């Protein structure tokens, strides 16, 4: 893991390389090969969060409050994970375009 200063310096070197030799960057794929992004938002994760939320509402309507709270917390965690992935993906995309 790099600390913040090293990460900042590495990003500056990458930007400089993109400016100096764009052909090389195009040949190399221009990116971080350890992170696999498809360029699509995490739509399946949002769908799963929605289904879990509907299940929580149904359990609440039935009157099973303990199950409702557990499934509701699960829905919040799943939705938070989807939002986190979406933000990280947008940050990486913006970084690659810089």
The confidence score (pLDDT) of residue 21 equals 85
pLDDT digits (tens, 9 = 90+) for 37-84: 556 778 889 999 999 999 999 999 999 999 999 999 999 999 999 999
Per-residue CA distances from 86 to 26, 31, 38, 40 (Å)? 25, 18, 12, 9
Could you count the other beta carbons within 10 Å of the beta carbon of residue 42? 18
Whole-angstrom CA distances from 61 to 3, 55, 68, 71 are: 49, 10, 9, 13
Judged by DSSP in three states, 20 sits in helix
Tokens, residue 46: 């949002």
How many Cβ atoms sit within 10 Å of the Cβ of residue 95?
13
3-class secondary-structure state, position 63: coil
- pLDDT tens digits, residue range 3-49? 888 888 988 988 888 888 888 877 777 555 444 555 677 888 999 99
In this prediction, residue 50 carries a pLDDT of 94
The model carries a pTM of 0.56
Look at residue 96 in the predicted model and tell me its pLDDT.
67
């Amino acid at each position: 893991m790099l600390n913040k200063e090293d990460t900042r310096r590495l990003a500056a070197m990458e930007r400089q390389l993109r400016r100096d030799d764009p052909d090389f960057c195009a040949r190399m794929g221009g990116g971080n090969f350890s992170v696999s992004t498809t360029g699509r938002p995490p739509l399946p994760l949002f769908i799963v969060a929605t289904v879990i939320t509907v299940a929580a509402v149904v359990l609440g309507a039935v009157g099973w409050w303990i199950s409702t709270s557990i499934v509701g917390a699960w829905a919040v965690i799943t939705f938070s994970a989807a939002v986190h992935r979406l933000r990280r993906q947008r940050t990486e995309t913006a970084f690659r375009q810089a």
